[in-house]
Structure 1
Amino acid sequence: MNPLPVTVIGGYLGAGKTTLINQLLKAPQGQRLFVIVNDFGAINIDQSLLAARDEDTIALTNGCVCCTMGADLFMALGDVLDRNPRPDHLIVEASGIADPTKIANAAITEPDMRHAGILTVVDAMSYDGLRRDPLIGAQFAQQIACADLVAISKAKGGVPKIDLSDLTRAPVLTQGAPEHILHLVADIRHEEGPLNAALRHPDYVSWSSQDRLTLPEDALRTAFAARPRGLFRVKGKLPYDDQTSWIVQCVGTQVEINATAGVHTANIVGIGLAGMVTLTEIEAWWNDCLARG
């Protein structure tokens, strides 16, 4: 039996990795895709937000997989190989603060798997700010430098074109349907042996809450826009009334609030830079929000 191709999808927080995976699952091009989803935080919120969920999606619970390469990932890889029929392609979604090369190296050490490339998603709207950030700029750049293929997201009208030539010689996709993207990255030839590990990433603060915050959309948007500056990423679901819940997505200065039908359990997770915010500050902000809602 041929080795199972493994592609790692990386990119910084909020880049659009989950959106890309949803698109791939909706247009698998005749392939049986198996997706391992993992996220930083106490709640595997990315799995609950995936539009295409089925029996072939595994959510890990060990947090930042690349930082604490524990048994969960290797057990998941073994479970994939034991499946009958075996999938045609394995996709591993790295968390936003992960080093994708460590996940790729886990696949390289498995003789029944084949490294089929690292695909890094880059948010065009946040690129300049992340690249210049003194705390996370080096880590952000390394996620791009290790890529075999780069996909630019959120390149809307008015967003300046970004130049990655000083970071990578990998092909850069700026538009078009993603259904052939796995073939593109898998066709790239790779050297044998382990990949170079990335720089050690900065320290992060992980926060989560299942408290119910029932604010109308405008008030909720204002509340999340006023979160502590160091709380870089927030995402999750909040029930509003008997018929509606809010899907919250925040990264940097961007705040997205979208309504979804049905009542859901409140699940919110956040990631902050330890040098810019403390868990006490995050909880104080959240308690203030709860007092208003």
Structure 2
Amino acid sequence: MKRIPVTIISGYLGAGKTTLINRLLSEDHGLRLTVLVNDFGRINIDESLLQDANAQTIALSNGCVCCTLGEDLTAALHRILAEENHPDHIVIEASGLSDPVAIANTVVNEAQLSYGGIITVTDGENLSDLLGDDLLRDQVSQQIRAADLVLISKCDTLSNAVMEQLNALGARTPTLLESAPLADLLFDVLPLPVGRTGAKSAHHSYATWHHRSNEPMDRCRLGDKLANRPDGLFRMKGFVLTNGGGYELHVVGRQVSAKRCEAEETVLVALGPAARISREDIEDWWHS
């Protein structure tokens, strides 16, 4: 059974998580999403998309569904997995005070799910004040450190002061929320080895790479390669054929998952910020 990717949206109170969710629900990404949210009241659903709603679920005409998160994340995920028609992707909006790592661990422990990364929305306008507050600093810092991708809200440019604070926290791939290519970054809509008629062109700020091969790779070599991947490689997914069988591969920031599967060839796509890595860098690393 194909595993369903899960992306976790984190960020402190008022950072802009709901704004991001609103964009995801209205964008023309062509995916059937299930979004687990804390409060329906904050989600601004376009009336033209609204198909049906009740106390626990909102169904949209584009195939997306919103469900209330409730107190038990595992139970909510099991309800989704028990449905006959599975979504293409699950998005979890974490509360502003929650630990995204704990949510990620829940996802990783579900065999039918694949970890799609932690996206932390950060208030660029008020970040300095938040980090300067003794009561809030640890919470905000923890959410940023846990992120595989940091999206900066409420500002048009990244000031040197904000960048210095993010770098000090080890923030990965800080990107402005307003200009972020959400579908590509969050849902892995990457250029595949075959052409797509009418597809949107790849955004300029991220380098993309793809690879296809029928030649098996040594399994130990694959492990060594993944352990020494370049720093700028943010996302990689696909299937790898080795001399020990096939593996479904997911790389999201610091997280690597390789699980047994049936594979007749190696098919991979990858992505990273162009300022840190190029297509040639990824190619040289993979073939080294």
TM, length-normalised to structure 1? 0.56
Does residue 172 of structure 2 align to residue 179 of structure 1?
no
Query: What's the CA shift for 1:151?
Result: 0.4
Count of matched residue pairs: 177
| Alpha carbons 1:124, 1:154 under 8 Å: kept | yes
Higher relative contact order (CA 8 A, sep 6+): 1
> For the structure 1 residues 85 and 28, does the alpha-carbon distance in structure 2 shift closer, same or farther, using more than 3 Å as the test?
farther
Candidates 24, 40, 44, aligned match of 1:47: 40
Q: Distance in 2 between matches of 1:138 and 1:106?
A: 22
On the 8 A contact 1:6/1:114 being kept in 2, the answer is: yes
How far apart in 2 are the matches of 1:84 and 1:158? 44
Task: Please give the secondary structure, in 1, of the residue aligned with 2:23.
Answer: helix
Q: Distance in 2 between matches of 1:134 and 1:186?
A: 34
Percent of pairs with identical residues: 38
For residue 126 of structure 1, report the CA deviation from its aligned partner: 1.3
Counterparts of 1:56-205 in structure 2, within 5 Å, are 56-62=65-71, 72-156=72-156, 162-163=162-163, 164-174=166-176, 175-176=178-179, 177-183=181-187, 187=236, 188-189=251-252, 190-192=255-257
Partner of 1:37: 37
The answer (yes or no) to whether the contact 1:7–1:186 under 8 Å persists in 2 is: no
Displacement of 1:75: 1.1
RMSD value, Cα: 2.3
Question: Is the CA contact (8 Å cut-off) linking 1:36 and 1:91 kept in structure 2?
Answer: yes
The CA deviation at 1:61 is 3.3
- TM-fit CA distance, 1:104: 0.9
When residues 186 and 50 of structure 1 are mapped into structure 2, their CA distance, relative to the original with a 3 A threshold, is: farther
CA distance in 2, matches of 1:158, 1:122: 12
CA positional deviation for 1:192 = 4.8
CA gap of 1:167–1:60, structure 2 versus 1, over 3 A, is: same
Superposed CA deviations along residues 77-98 of structure 1, whole A, max 9, x for unmatched, are 0111122221000000000011
Please say if residues 15 and 122 of structure 1, whose CA atoms lie closer than 8 Å, have aligned partners that are also in contact. yes
> Normalised by the size of structure 2, how large is the TM-score?
0.57
> What is the letter of the counterpart of residue 191 of structure 1?
V
Which amino acid in the other structure matches residue 61 of structure 1?
Answer: G
